[in-house]
Amino acid sequence: MEEASGLHNFLEILTKPDNIPIVGMLLLVIFFTWLGLRQAFKNDKLIEEGKEDQISNEMWK
């Protein structure tokens, strides 16, 4: 009898019906955190270049 690996057990837990919404929410949190940080770094770059007035224009694109 072969013992299941840790990865196999982890994936088995993730794919149970009760846990699928949690995994989906985790992916959404990661995506929107990345999106927010990307925009923050763009805004910081515009501030360093002295173009603070362009930040609102970038937000409305």
Q: Is 32 within the bounds of a domain?
A: yes
In a domain, 52, yes or no: yes
Residue 55: give the domain boundaries: 21-61
Q: How many domains does the chain have?
A: 1
Residue 24 CA to residue 22 CA, distance in Å, equals 5
In a domain, 14, yes or no: no
Position 46 in a domain: yes
What's the burial of 16, exposed, middle or buried (CB within 10 Å: 0-12/13-18/19+)?
exposed
pLDDT in tens, 2-60: 677 889 998 999 899 999 999 999 999 999 999 999 999 999 999 999 888 888 887 77
